[in-house]
Amino acid sequence: MKIPQLKRKLEVKKYHDFELKDEFSWVHQKDILDVLKDSKKLNPEVREYLEKENAYTKFHLKDSKKTQKKLFSEIKGRIKLDDESLPYRDKFYDYWSKTTSKNDYLIKLRKKIGDDKIEEIWNGDKEKERMNASYFGVGDLEVSHNDLLLGYSLDLDGSEYYTIYIRRISDKKLVTEKIENTSGGIEFSLDNKYIFYTKLDSNHRPKKILRHKIGTLQKEDRLIYEEKDERFTVGMGGLTTDEKFFLINTSDHSTAETYYFSAETEKINLKLFQKREDKIRYSIDSWQNYFYLHTNKNAPDFKICRSTHENPNDIKEFIPAKNEVLIGGFVFLEEWMIRDEISNALPKLFVKNLNDNKEEELIFSDEIVYSPGISEMQKDRKTNNLYLSYSSPKTNARTYIYNLKTKEKKLVKEQIIPSGHSPENYITERLECRSHDGRMIPLTITRHKKTKLDGSANVLLYGYSSYGTINPNVFSSTRISLIDRDIIWCTCEARGSRIRGEKWHEEGKMLNKKNTFEDYISSAKFLIEKKYTHKGGVIGYGGSAGGLLMGAVVNEAPELFLGFVIQVGFLDSLTTNLDHSLPLTLGELTEFGDAKNNKKHFEYIKSYSPYHNIKKMDYPHMLLVTNIKDVRVLFDEPLKFTAKLRKYKTDNNLLLLRCELEDAGHGGKSGRDSAIEEIAFDYSFILKITKKLNS
């Protein structure tokens, strides 16, 4: 089949006395945000090219159709389709959700305390059918404090423009005008007369908090807060634990600020908790007449402080900072604070008795690598019980009712794998790999116990490592399909994440971003050296900002890799950074730099931007996946990367681009089955290049 070729039209722009040449920049439309709302506005010439790329991809993966179906059946077969969540007890009702074998979306249920009658208050599949939508993204689903109203927000095309609806639960009748162009979050006032929501501006940025009186028109909504700093975005922070205050949080990736106002009065008197300071991030909660402050001020890896409501500026340390230990968030019960932290790149849970201030670690697994979690069982905090859960890369999730006082625990839910799963058949390891500058990179490896460590296996090396995001070491039933076929799964926590604290993040951002790529390459070399795989046997896997990582690495060390799967990849990072009209760019200037206004930043980003560093050389097999309505990483980026790569690469390896041309966003299509289909598609490509299609 003929290889698709994109028309070339040279455009030259000048930045900092440097001429930036681009033959494919013409594909970017100035009205791109309109295209996100209506794909019919896409340039017909671009659509035609994408259709040819889709056909080319389909042609080269036609031999994987049976494998895709097999993978779909395998992955779906590991999901307990008829399942229910554990109940949460509100004031008058128990609430929970369920999934069924016939439904793609969840069903929300409740029953009055003391009554056995179950009431269905939301059915995603029925709602999707009623809306006649091909895409059905649910942003939020909230019940009013008096249990009479249901608020929900929907994105019906993948563009992440959410419309809010409020209806009575009793008869499902809408009680107010729909509220359009929101970020999706819904917060009911305590008196149930209003909702608070965040409005998107013309650049798809959440900039305004408004209060909507239920039963009125959207144009009558009252502005509560507007963020004027172009780098910052804003959102409701919800109710504090004691339900005394509503919070408004505004931030970019490095600086934060919080406002609060009384939840008990209709008149809003907005108060600033602490004025924003550059690179100071904080959040607050309120409990038992104290404000609790989680902050990195004079504590790079955070600490927890508190102050009284009467004197919020008189702040006292409550949980001190620890060196290279990331102090995480917390929740309260009547007599307890439960909090998390990460030390030595592993998560931990701690319980503090608020009466005597004694604290101890919660240890409930003998596995080295696992992810613990807690959640409340009920709204009433006068309890010693909570849900405590954990899973690991090899162990399916378990949830217990745990009594903080007696330390008794009772298993109440285990993740069922209908097709069967035995954790003892798998091995999970935590290794450390030395990077180019001596820093030790955490690697989490999961493999089948029968997989030979003689260098013959393939390793899937997953990476992200931006914004301080940490990859949780949780069980994934989908990965088993690769692991059972002797593909070793390795998650690389390169710098740019926060797994070793804020210093680990700082060493992988801004003018240190190349450390992320060097760490990943060092990890690939380490896995080859230790016989987990062989040179040319590693498969790179990442998406979004992880796509930036994949793109930079494939330009730098293609010989180490068999192939790459890049989902919604941030591959034209310099062009995006230069365009301050795009939704995310301004907020990310403190993560990647400001190439438009800073020559040093421009030169540094240009030196690693995947699109701008494509070379005339052999490249490994590559599959790039994007979606026409992705508002976070425009489809331009993988499109241009593919088109330019076709011009430069000197090999005959597969280079495939798949673009969903209708309703799909940054996370792909909506619905359970669609998500499984997309995973099966990616995995079939991996099995094709590893010559395991029929395994």
Mean pLDDT of 371-395: 96
Which two three-digit tokens encode residue 239? 């109710």
Percent over 90 (pLDDT), the chain: 93
CB 111 within 8 A of CB 447: no
Question: Looking at the predicted structure, is the pLDDT value of residue 640 above 90?
Answer: yes
- What's the pLDDT score for residue 661? 85
* Terminal Cα distance for the chain, rounded: 27
Question: Looking at the predicted structure, is the pLDDT value of residue 34 above 90?
Answer: no
Interatomic CA distance for residues 174 and 502, integer angstroms: 46
Mean pLDDT of 395-407: 96
Residue 222's region, left for phi above 0, alpha for psi from -120 to 50, else beta, is beta
Higher pLDDT among residues 34 and 460, named by residue = 460
Q: Are residues 561 and 459 in the same domain?
A: yes
Q: Which is it for strands 290-295 and 303-308: parallel, antiparallel or unpaired?
A: antiparallel
Look at residues 62, 106, 72, 110 and name the one whose alpha carbon lies nearest to residue 90: 110
Quickly list H helices, 499-625. 502-506, 514-529, 545-556, 573-578, 589-592, 599-608
Q: Which is it for strands 561-567 and 621-627: parallel, antiparallel or unpaired?
A: parallel
DSSP state of 279: T
The verdict on residue 161 lying in a domain is no
Q: Are residues 315 and 336 in the same domain?
A: no
- Residue 624 belongs to a domain with what CATH number? 3.40.50.1820
The verdict on residue 601 lying in a domain is yes
Q: Are residues 434 and 531 in the same domain?
A: yes
Helix (H) or strand (E) holding 683, with range, is helix 672-689
Q: Are residues 511 and 607 in the same domain?
A: yes
The verdict on residue 349 lying in a domain is yes
What's the distance, CA 625 to chain centroid? Answer: 17
Interatomic CA distance for residues 50 and 629, integer angstroms: 14
The total number of structural domains that make up the chain: 3
What's the distance, CA 581 to chain centroid? Answer: 23
DSSP state of 396: -
Domain boundary among 383, 416, 449: 416
Amino acid letter at 150?
Answer: L
Q: Are residues 500 and 383 in the same domain?
A: no
Interatomic CA distance for residues 378 and 385, integer angstroms: 9
Mean pLDDT of 216-221: 96
List CB contacts of 417: < 8 A, sequence separation 6 or more.
Answer: 78, 80, 396, 477
- What's the pLDDT score for residue 324? 82
Distances (CA, A) of 72 to 75, 672, 681: 5, 11, 9
Q: Label residue 33 by pLDDT band (50, 70, 90).
A: confident
Q: Are residues 608 and 490 in the same domain?
A: yes
The verdict on residue 676 lying in a domain is yes
Strand partners, 259: 248, 272
Mean pLDDT of 654-682: 88
Domain boundary among 362, 391, 416: 416
Q: Are residues 480 and 347 in the same domain?
A: no
Residue 184's region, left for phi above 0, alpha for psi from -120 to 50, else beta, is left
Q: Are residues 301 and 351 in the same domain?
A: no
Percent over 70 (pLDDT), the chain: 100
Which two three-digit tokens encode residue 643? 């088109």
Q: Are residues 316 and 404 in the same domain?
A: no
Number of continuous H segments (helices) and E segments (strands) in the chain: 13, 39
Mean pLDDT of 327-354: 96
- What's the pLDDT score for residue 38? 84
Mean pLDDT of 445-455: 97
pLDDT of 665-678, one tens digit each?
Answer: 777 777 899 999 99
Supply the range of the domain harboring residue 615.
427-689
The verdict on residue 213 lying in a domain is no
Q: Which is it for strands 458-463 and 487-492: parallel, antiparallel or unpaired?
A: parallel
Q: Are residues 533 and 411 in the same domain?
A: no
- What's the pLDDT score for residue 72? 96
Q: Are residues 439 and 412 in the same domain?
A: no
Distances (CA, A) of 414 to 46, 254, 655: 48, 38, 41
Domain boundary among 367, 387, 416: 416
The verdict on residue 387 lying in a domain is yes
Quickly list H helices, 470-544. 480-483, 502-506, 514-529
Residue 192's region, left for phi above 0, alpha for psi from -120 to 50, else beta, is left
The verdict on residue 122 lying in a domain is no
The verdict on residue 148 lying in a domain is no
List CB contacts of 311: < 8 A, sequence separation 6 or more.
Answer: none
Q: Are residues 247 and 381 in the same domain?
A: no
Q: Label residue 632 by pLDDT band (50, 70, 90).
A: confident
Average pLDDT over the chain reads 96
Look at residues 560, 537, 417 and name the one whose alpha carbon lies nearest to residue 481: 417
